[in-house]
Amino acid sequence: MTDITDLFSVSGLTAKSKLILLGAPDSLPAEVIDRIRSLHIEHVSPAELMRQEISRRASVAKAAGDATLALLRRWFWARKPDAGFVLTDFPATLLQAQVFDEWLDARGENLDGVLAAPGSSGPVVQHYGMLGLLREAGITLAA
Mean pLDDT score of the chain, rounded to an integer? Answer: 75
Residue-by-residue DSSP string for 57-97: -S---S-HHHHHHHHHHHHHHHS-TT--EEEES---SHHHH
pTM: 0.66
Q: Is the pLDDT reported for residue 101 higher than 90?
A: yes
What superfamily would CATH give domain 4-135?
P-loop containing nucleotide triphosphate hydrolases (3.40.50.300)
Provide the pLDDT for residue 129. Answer: 94
- Please report, for residues 8, 29, 44, 58, the alpha-carbon distance to residue 125 in angstroms, rounded to integers and kept in the order given: 20, 18, 19, 36
Bigger pLDDT: 136 or 13?
136
* pLDDT per position as a tens digit, 7-62: 444 345 555 778 888 877 777 778 877 777 777 777 777 766 555 554 555 444 34
Provide the pLDDT for residue 133. Answer: 93
Domain chopping of the chain, boundaries: 4-135
